[in-house]
Amino acid sequence: MQPSPSSHARVIEVLRSSAVFGSLHMEIIEALADAMTLSSVRGGDTVIHEGAESDGIIFVIHGGLRVSRQAADGHLLLYNQIQPGQSIGELGMILGQTRAQDVTAVRDSRLAVLSREAYEHLLQRFPLELSQVFLRAVYDRMRNAPDPADQHLAQTFILLPLQCPAQGQAGRTATLGQDMTQAFAKHGRVAHLRADTDGSKLQCNGKAVAHEALPQIEAEHEFILYESSGEDCAWTRYSFRQADQVILVANADANPGISSIELALCQEPGFQLKRRHLVLQHPPGCLEAAPPAPWLLGRDVERIYPLRHDQLDDSARLVRFLTGSAVGVVLGGGGARGFAHLGVLRALEECGMPVDLIGGNSMGALIGAQYALGHDLADILQRTQAFACGGERLTLPLVSLVGGRRVERDLKRMFGERQIEQLWRPYFAAACNLSLGHTQVLETGPIWKAVLASNSPAGLFPPVLHQGALLVDGAILENVPVQPMRMRLGTKLERRRGNGMIIAIDVDVRANLRADQGLTRLSVWSTLKSKLFAHAPASPGIADILYSAGHVGGMNQRLRTISQADHYLEPPVGEFALMAYGRGADIAEIGYRHAMEKIGQWDFHKR
C-alpha cells in the first residue's frame, strides 16, 4: 500500500507553498524540481544514518521525517520533524561534514532528493538565490522547531484493539472510534478511516473512498483516526506506519499480558518514535476503574485512560489529552477560604470548561479529591463543612500539638479505601517530604492517605509516614502545586504546540504576621489578651505562627508559581478567617463571581 507516485507538478506545488523555498522565482523552482530524484519510503525506514556521508539534500513532498540521535546511555533523543515543503541535509553538504543525526520516516512518505552534483550545478546558475534560501532553511530549523499545527499538518492516530475480534473487542472499538471522531470534530476537521483486513475496501467517515485519495484526505483534515480490527494484517501494518500516536485498546477485565499484535508491531521500524497510550474500557455504570498497575508490566505507554462505554465525557477527555488541549486545575490551600474553589469550579462548568486533571494542596487536595470522585459541588460543600467541624484533641506535644486521629478516621469514612489510580478523572495531592526536602506528589494509593498528608501542617498534626519518609502540608514549599501539574501536561514552552492549559486558584491571602510594637516578648498572657479583648496589643498565637511558618516557602515561590500557570485566579477572600467554615457558601459565591469575571477576559480562540 505505497502512496501513489508524485508528479513533477506536485513537487513544484510543494516548493511554491513552502515558507522558505516559495520565495524563489518560478524559474528556479522549476529548475530545482527538474534536478530532483523522487523516491518513496515506508514509515519507520531510516532515510539518513548518523555518520554517513552528506551526499544530498532531501525534500519532503508527502509524509514526514523525524530527526533523532542515540545518547551515550542508549536513550533515544527525539528532535524536530521535517514536514512537506521542508528540507534536511543542507548544512552537512555545504560544509562537507558527515551526517550529525539519524533521520527516519514517521509515516509512508514521498521524498525528492537533490544530489550533490545537481546542487553544485544549480549553484552555478543561481548562486545568490540558492545560497540565501538554503541558509535560511538551516537557520529556521535551528532557531525554532516547526510547529505542525502552524503548517496544517494532520495529526494521525491508530486505534489498535489488543483482543481479537472474536472476543467482542472490535465492536466496542468501533463505538470508541465513533465517539472519538465526534470529540475530535470539536477541535478541527477529522477523518475516521476504516478498511477490511487487506485494505482493499476503504471507508472515510462511513463513505467508500479510493486509496489514491489518502494524501488529499490528509491535506484536508487536521486529525486522521485510523481504526484497526487488531488483527496482524495489511491494513493494521499500513495504519500503524502512518500513525504519530498509537492508542492501544483493551477490556479492563482482560488478561493484561503483552498481546501478539504488540509483539509483532514492536518489531516494526520506527516503533520507538511513536507516542503510545492505553485505553481500558469498562462496562456501562461501572463505579470504579480497574487497577492499572498490571497493565504497566512490560508495556511502555505515556498514560492509561480508564473509559466507560456509556460516558462520552471520558472519550472527550481522552481526545483532549491526545491533542494537547487537556485542562488541569490546581487548587491551593488556605483553610475555609478554600471554599472559593467550589465557586471557581462552578464557573468553569457553566462556561463549558472541562477539568481533565485536578490536583491540590491542603484544603485544595480535600476538595479536589471529592470533585475527582464525581460528587456535585453542593454535596462537596456540605461534606467538607461537616468534616471541618469535627474538632481535634490536644496531645502530649512530642510529635505535634494534636493527635490527628479524628481527622484520619473521618477521611477514611469519607473516601473509604478508594485508590487514586482507580479514579476516572486523574488526580493528585501535594505534600512536603520533610525527609527529602521536596514536594511529594501523591497520585497512587488510598485517597484518604494522600489527602491526610496534604492536610497535616507541621507541628500542628503528626506527619504522615510514606515509605519511611515524613509528609506534611505541602505549603512549606509550594502551596499551589502548579509545577507538578505542568510536569503532567508539558512545559509552558511546549504549550505553544498544545500541551494543555493550567488554571490555578490561590486562596492563601498574604497575612501580615506582626506583634504590637509595644511588646518586648510574646507570652501566654499577651496572646490571651489579644484573643479576648479587641483593643489589646496584637500578640500572635501558636496557630498563627505555625501557619505562617508553614506557608513561607509557598509565599516566596508565588511569582514562579504564577509564571507556570496559564491562568492564575486569586479570589478576594481575605475578609474571611481561616476557620470560617460555617461561611462556606458565602466564600464559594465570591469565588464564583471572581472566576466569571476573569474567565470572560480569557482568550480561547486558539484552543
First vs last C-alpha separation in the chain: 35
Are 54 and 77 in contact by the 8 Å Cβ rule? The answer is no
Which secondary structure element, helix H or strand E, spans residue 409, and what is its range? helix 405-415
Cell numbers found for residue 158: 491508530
CA pair distance 162, 257, nearest whole angstrom = 10
473 catalytic? Reply is: yes
Amino acid present at 68: S
Angle at 378 between CA 375 and CA 381, to 5 degrees: 90
Q: Tell which residue, 254, 229, 232, 233, has the closest CA to residue 161.
A: 229
The b-or-e profile of 485-519 (16+ CB within 10 A means b, else e) is bbebbbeeeebeebbbbbbbbbbbbeeeeebeeee
SS (H, E, C) 135-165: HHHHHHHHHCCCCHHHHCCCEEEEEEECCCH
Are 244 and 274 in contact by the 8 Å Cβ rule? The answer is yes
Residue 359 phi/psi, 5° resolution?
Answer: -145, 160
Inter-axis angle of helices 363-372 and 447-454, nearest 10:
160
Cell numbers found for residue 64: 514526514
- Max CA pair span of the chain: 95
Amino acid present at 424: W
Identify the active-site residue in 362, 456, 526, 539.
362
CA pair distance 501, 560, nearest whole angstrom = 17
Cell numbers found for residue 101: 543525526
The 8-class DSSP code of residue 289 comes to P
362 catalytic? Reply is: yes
For residue 115, the SS3 value is strand
Q: Tell which residue, 231, 232, 228, 207, has the closest CA to residue 217.
A: 207
Identify the active-site residue in 179, 473, 506, 508.
473
Active-site amino acid positions:
362, 473
